Homo-oligomer: A and B are copies of this chain.
Amino acid sequence: LTLIVAIDSLGAEEAKGLTRSLCTRVAGFKVGLPFLLANGVQFLKELHGACPEKLWVADLKLADIGHVMKLVASSVASSVDAVIAHGFVGVRGALDELKEYLNSLDKKLIVVVSMSHPGAEEVYDKALPNIFDVVVKLKPWGVVAPATRPAIIQETRRSFGQDVKILSPGIGAQGARPGEALCAGADYEIVGRLITRAENPVASAEEVLREQREMLRRCKGWR
């Protein structure tokens, strides 16, 4: 399974309905900070309970000292399997503490190595070699690299081989087509509004899965 659905733009009840409907079809769900602040961490626990066997990712884009990131992670840890933090905060006194804490709870760390918006070229991209060094030292379970920039996904896969999962947002509203990131080497595509704002979200998710298979058939041969 290669699809993670970002449910950030939904209301609480919609999110729960969609989570139930898609539970057997997808690899997991991603919940962002706007959703958490709007609905509270208690509701996340309820939502997680609607499909607990899949991969739940808290997309908090943590970027603080270790002490603060651990506090934030602790407030969602019982309802998710993985937490996203930014590679640019570095290892010592930041991601090392977060990773050790998540390990102790048997939870996964996912590190952002690149972003999808134009402003990513101003600072983030220029720091890519240093952020790759952070990934080498830290050995997180996964990294985030945007579907809109397949060259960075390819470089990430070349650099880390199969030691790291690659999760790619940016499909649909941000411009990439389903399957493009998978073809570049990603393990999961994160799709939000293309599914959650569709008239029929379940049908839209099925269509995304079909497009992923079609694209993979063309780029890699049937698998």
| Interface size band for A | 35 or more
Q: Find A86's partner among B63, B94, B96 (CB 8 Å cutoff).
A: B63
**Cα–Cα, bound, A8→B120 (Å):** 30
Cβ A64 vs Cβ B61 within 8 A: yes
Residues of B within 8 A of A13 (CB): none
**Binding site of A, secondary structure by majority: helix, strand, loop or mixed?**
helix
Looking at A45-53, A68-76, A194-202, A203-211, the stretch in contact with chain B turns out to be A68-76
Q: A217: CB under 8 A from chain B?
A: no
Q: A161: CB under 8 A from chain B?
A: no
Residues of B within 8 A of A94 (CB): 115, 117, 119-120
Q: What string of 1s and 0s marks CB contacts (under 8 Å) between A55-84 and chain B?
A: 000001111111010011001100000000
Residues of B within 8 A of A95 (CB): 119
Residues of B within 8 A of A36 (CB): 37
Q: A90: CB under 8 A from chain B?
A: yes
Q: Find A68's partner among B32, B88, B93, B118 (CB 8 Å cutoff).
A: B32
